[in-house]
Amino acid sequence: MSKTDSVKLYKVRKLISELSNKEGRGTELVSLYIPPKKPIHEAIANLREEWGTAGNIKSDTTRNHVQDALTRTMQRLKLYRTAPDTGLVIFSGALPTNGPGSEVVNVYEIVPPKPVTQYLYQCDDHFHVEWLKDMLREEKVFGILSIDSSEAGLGILSGDRLEVVDIMTSGISGKTRKGGQSARRYERGREMELTYYFNRVAEHATRVFIDSNKVTGMIVGGPGPTKDEFLKGGYLHYELQKKIIAVLDLGYSGREGIRELVEKAADILKDVRLVEEKRLVQKFLFEVNKQGGLAVYGLPRVIDALQKASAETVLVSDDLDMVRIDVRCKKCGMLRTETVEASKKIQERQEMGSTPCTRCGAVDYEVAERDLVDVLEEMAFPVGSKVEVISSGTEEGSMFKSFGGVAAILRYRT
């Protein structure tokens, strides 16, 4: 998973949980999934048709809501010439803001983390977020390599399926040397055989793990020191070398070694993102506990570091749940900004909206509200910082939360 993806995933997850609880008054909530290759004008034509069909709906409220939702969706689509690389998902519908009769049409637009495979249009009493949920299910493919001096096994682990792709024997003769052969000559011969064998294994690995499958991680193991010699010798394609998650000692090599490796690596494989998060949190903890260390925590300090471009990585707990509210005076343009917990946002908006402008005294505002993670990412992007969302449900995550849920690892102290 690339670095910024943790923010993307966080946003999609958050939206899913928000939309899963929404219910329409009638069958009036629109879900639309557009695959990347589908021409946008075709999708619009389809919606126009649906708009016409909706004219037959008996209930005035439902009919209006459906047609409004469709109109708003078409308006959004018109902003696209072609669908993004992974397609587009739109949820649109009239949702109550304050009890029945207060419905306002909302449009939610998502560029999904994985390609939409099928065009889908649904009008229902709820949003169909389940397909989006399916897309979030991580489907990682791991390359498994077990190796010793006699044989090597190459396997692919995808989801919960393990496939043994290839077993190769080294052809290297046993450990004892023949009578009359000098020790040096024996060693040299063995080394050459080993090099030849390592090159063959590496070639197969490239074919299996790069050409035929795009592995996201590599796990290497085997009995004895052969695996280390293989890795240190730089035989493995550098792309695969970079993806090594673990190197483990095993009792077996080859086919049995592959199984043993998957078993032993179970904890690691379960959540590779967790390994990354662990590393980030530990780096933060190390820096924060050091005198003059390269870390700060708390929102004001993090924002300051972003403004000074000294933040390298911003860490945010996934349950931080804070929003930034901007109110701009419509008369004089004066801007006021507050960051509050999401649970207090309605109260805060009301208070900010009813307080007279400190510059001109007017009480007429334009109000905008954004998730704090979005705000941080907007600040981070131009200065080359990364935002990493840290899951709160892990040991590291809860340790991190004790620092207030937002922190930064710095490039340098300012």
Cα–Cα distances in Å, from 352 out to 135, 221, 323, 368? Answer: 39, 60, 14, 11
Choose between 141 and 360: whose C-beta lies nearer to Zn ion: 360
Min. distance of Cβ 333 from Zn ion in angstroms?
A: 7
Residue from 357, 372, 389, 390 in contact with Zn ion (CB under 5 A): 357
| By CB under 5 A, residue 363 contacts Zn ion | no
Min. distance of Cβ 347 from Zn ion in angstroms?
A: 22
Min. distance of Cβ 363 from Zn ion in angstroms?
A: 9
Residue from 360, 374, 399, 411 in contact with Zn ion (CB under 5 A): 360
Choose between 125 and 326: whose C-beta lies nearer to Zn ion: 326
Quick one: which segment of 37-45, 205-213, 275-283, 356-364 binds Zn ion (CB under 5 A)?
A: 356-364
| By CB under 5 A, residue 356 contacts Zn ion | no
Min. distance of Cβ 375 from Zn ion in angstroms?
A: 23
| By CB under 5 A, residue 327 contacts Zn ion | no
Min. distance of Cβ 355 from Zn ion in angstroms?
A: 11
Min. distance of Cβ 329 from Zn ion in angstroms?
A: 3
| By CB under 5 A, residue 359 contacts Zn ion | yes
Choose between 224 and 361: whose C-beta lies nearer to Zn ion: 361
Quick one: which segment of 30-38, 273-281, 360-368, 374-382 binds Zn ion (CB under 5 A)?
A: 360-368
Choose between 30 and 329: whose C-beta lies nearer to Zn ion: 329
Min. distance of Cβ 378 from Zn ion in angstroms?
A: 25
| By CB under 5 A, residue 334 contacts Zn ion | yes
Quick one: which segment of 165-173, 178-186, 354-362, 391-399 binds Zn ion (CB under 5 A)?
A: 354-362
**How many residues interact with Zn ion (rule CB under 5 A)?**
8
Q: What does the binding site for Zn ion look like in residue numbers (CB under 5 A)?
A: 329, 331-332, 334, 357, 359-360, 362
